[in-house]
Amino acid sequence: MLELRNVESGYQLLQVLWDVTLHVDEGEFVALLGPNGAGKTTTLRTIAGLVQPIRGTVSFRGRSIGGLAPHQVSRMGIGYVSESLNLFPAMSVLENLLVGAYAVTDKTKIRANMDLVFELFPRLHERRDQLAGTLSGGERKMLAIGRGLMPSPSLLLVDEPSLGLAPIPTLAAFEALKQLSQRGMTILLVEQNVNTTLRLVDRAYVLEQGRIVLEGTGERLLADNHVQEAYLGI
Ligand code: ATP
């Protein structure tokens, strides 16, 4: 479904990604792991059209999407839930979800997606009229993921849902992603929480200093010596 081939990308004078090749198949739940500054967010931003690749190809369902603007990538069915969430604090939960559906004209679809979001996150339903700026950190993450689902993406890119969250809300966010995956959503998840993530996903890549250094099933990577030493403290 998604393929990056020999992608190099970065910011003006700083090249961050070097020869990154990865793929995500339809229905797969894949993680991109690695330390701070490895280039995980840059990889998602390159897929989402927020950063243009210097070299290499990014393709989605066989079509090259490198060079497309973010709104064009979004219309092709790629949703991006960024680390910074970008919610509208002075708008309610419901209004923020509707903003996520701005490009959807079919009211039935909006209703169905809203129902899905409230089913995954009953807490958001309870707080649907509350201002986003007054939600807890965990609820804000739920809202950002929910808003990402409103345009009916077929691939969801999720950047560090555990960032800044206590263990219980982190587990709730992971549980929601697992449920989404079980319903057939294709997910590419960026995380630093290696232990929990590898137990959750089908497959993962490890990115270090802008290069993919390992790839494998969650089970295989949990047993890998480098992963154990560098990320699990074993
Ligand atoms: P983290 O887990 O800490 O978010 P990451 O693996 O997601 O790290 P990136 O955010 O992709 O890493 O950053 C990779 C490198 O690119 C870092 O050295 C960072 O300082 C740099 N960088 C990120 N965004 C920009 C930007 N807008 N302009 C210039 N450099 C940037």
- Reported as a single tens digit per residue, the pLDDT across 17-31 is 999 999 999 999 999
Torsion angle, alpha carbons of 64, 185, 161, 146, to 10: 100
Could you give the 3-state DSSP secondary structure of residue 101? coil
Q: What is the pLDDT of residue 172?
A: 86
79 lines ligand 1 (CB under 6 A): no
Q: What mean pLDDT do residues 142-155 have?
A: 93
Q: Ligand 1 pocket check: which of 14, 18, 43, 191 to mutate, most ligand atoms within 8 Å of Cβ? A: 14
38 lines ligand 1 (CB under 6 A): yes
Q: What is the pLDDT of residue 229?
A: 92
pLDDT at 84 over 80: no
41 lines ligand 1 (CB under 6 A): yes
pTM: 0.93
CB atoms under 10 Å from CB of 225, counted, come to 8
225 lines ligand 1 (CB under 6 A): no
Domains with residue ranges and CATH for the chain:
2-87+155-231 (3.40.50.300)
Residues 91-136 have pLDDT tens digits of 999 999 999 888 888 899 999 999 999 998 999 999 999 999 999 8
Which amino acid residue places its CA nearest to atom 1 of ligand 1? Answer: 36
39 lines ligand 1 (CB under 6 A): yes
Cβ atoms of 32 and 207 closer than 8 Å = yes
Residues 6+ apart with CB under 8 A from 130: 92, 93
Location of structure tokens 């993406």: 153
Q: What percent of the chain has pLDDT over 90?
A: 78
Q: pLDDT band at residue 169, thresholds of 50, 70 and 90?
A: confident
CB atoms under 10 Å from CB of 40, counted, come to 26
For every residue of 69-96, DSSP letters joined together read -HHHHHHTTEEEE-TT----TTSBHHHH
Q: What percent of the chain has pLDDT over 70?
A: 100
Q: What mean pLDDT do residues 132-153 have?
A: 91
